[in-house]
Structure 1
């Protein structure tokens, strides 16, 4: 497949690129800086907000790995994703989004999200809230794009091992048989590329909010 990874130099982006390349996909890394820290076969230096339809129209899948943590940059989660949605409207290109766990529901009635639970760490609430807003905007305005939003488990481990086994679930917080909600960046990348490779098949989760947890 022809896969574009936007914001590819980030820690998740780099692992998604590696996973996709290792499986024989043709991957282009879109980076803002001169440096390329990925193993992508092709590299394009261009700011996300300068991307146009022409830049992305020939890919099968675009993976949005954008992430911002500084308080002043948090609104860019919504702004950046909506820019990608706007330029992909009407294009035959699938959009996969690296999401956040805070947007997952903790009840079957879908009335409470993880970010709103009493024990959710205060230090992560601003980021989680920005990602909730990001998903809500995508769900509201993404009718003309074949998107899939993939949230990690609650404990998203940057340096965790790649086990090669994970559970794909929906928009409710899911735990494994050990009552854990945990996933490594590497296993998350595996799940992301799994979903990318479902593109064009009946198994693709179009306009769905997914989550992934270690098996």
Structure 2
């Protein structure tokens, strides 16, 4: 029973075409299971769904620079955001990392939070280390700053 937990984190990803549907499918199962409960859902999004324009009409994965080999995966994973927005009876948050997510990078307390758009650090890069990502995720679990919205981050 998921409702015994304060927060459920969905960090599901998929790396082969036959599995691309799993993140969105699991998001749908989780919002149905957590509807009208006090258990929060934090989903980890994909960078391709972040917007590159202020009008929120062009996603990163719609730009010519987006690597074509990741397009289908990105578009399929991006459906999770659409699912969350349809469930006002779930206390959800979407944490979407930037395009450069570094498994080897250092943890830092020097980072910038953003919302729906790709943001850049002081060096002009959309960069975040896994360690800093984890720190920001734990902060959101503890402090609940982004209820029913999406956010992103970069580190300097």
1:102-129 per-residue CA deviation (whole Å, 9 max, x = no partner) reads 1110000111000001101112212211
The answer for the alignment partner of 1:137 in structure 2 is 83
Once residues 123 and 156 of structure 1 are traced to their aligned partners in structure 2, the CA distance between those partners, rounded to angstroms, is 18
Once residues 113 and 93 of structure 2 are traced to their aligned partners in structure 1, the CA distance between those partners, rounded to angstroms, is 13
4+ long deviations beyond 6 Å: none
Once residues 184 and 95 of structure 1 are traced to their aligned partners in structure 2, the CA distance between those partners, rounded to angstroms, is 23
State the SS of the aligned residue for 1:176.
Answer: coil
Larger CA Rg, structure 1 vs 2: 1
Taking structure 1 as the reference length, the TM-score comes to 0.70
Q: Point out where structure 1 has 5 or more consecutive residues left out of the alignment.
A: 1-54
Q: Greater relative contact order: 1 or 2 (C-alpha under 8 angstroms, separation 6 or more)?
A: 2
Q: How far did 1:190 drift?
A: 0.9
The answer for the alignment partner of 1:112 in structure 2 is 58
Tell me, yes or no, if the aligned pair for 2:116 and 2:150 is still in contact at 8 Å.
Answer: yes
Q: Point out where structure 2 has 5 or more consecutive residues left out of the alignment.
A: none
State the SS of the aligned residue for 1:197.
Answer: helix
Taking structure 2 as the reference length, the TM-score comes to 0.95
The answer for the alignment partner of 2:24 in structure 1 is 78
Once residues 139 and 119 of structure 2 are traced to their aligned partners in structure 1, the CA distance between those partners, rounded to angstroms, is 19
| Aligned with 1:207 (options 140, 148, 151) | 148
The count of residues paired between Structure 1 and Structure 2 equals: 156
RMSD value, Cα: 1.2
* 1:102 is aligned to 2:43: no
